[in-house]
Amino acid sequence: MSNAVEHPDHYNWGCIEVIDAIESWELNFSRGNAVKYIARAGHKNDELEDLKKAAWYINREIERLEKLRAQ
C-alpha cells in the first residue's frame, strides 16, 4: 500500500527503497541525491529532468572534490 509521506510509489521500484541503499552505502548529500534521481528517473515526473538533476548533483560533488584536491 502506498503512503504519500513515508513510502510513495515512486520511492519503491523493485525490492529496494532508494533511501535504504543511500544510507547503507553512507553516501553524502550530493552523491545520495544523484543516486536518488537516477533510480527514480521516469517513475514520477519528467525522466529527462530527473537525469539533469542527478547530473547537477554529480557536478557539484566533482567541484567539491576538485576544491579539496587543490588545497
CA distance 21 to 6: 16
Cell 553524502 belongs to 28
Q: Using 50, 70 and 90 to split pLDDT, how confident is the model at 55?
A: very high
Q: If pLDDT is split at 50, 70 and 90, which confidence band does 2 have?
A: low
**Mean pLDDT over the full length of the chain:** 87
- Average pLDDT on 16-35 reads 95
Helix or strand run (H / E) with residue 39: helix 29-40
Three-class DSSP category at 5: coil
* Percentage, residues of the chain above pLDDT 70: 80
How would residue 67 be classed by pLDDT, with cut points 50, 70 and 90?
very high
Q: In sequence order, what are the residues at sequence separation of 6 or more whose Cβ sits closer than 8 angstroms to the Cβ of residue 45? A: none
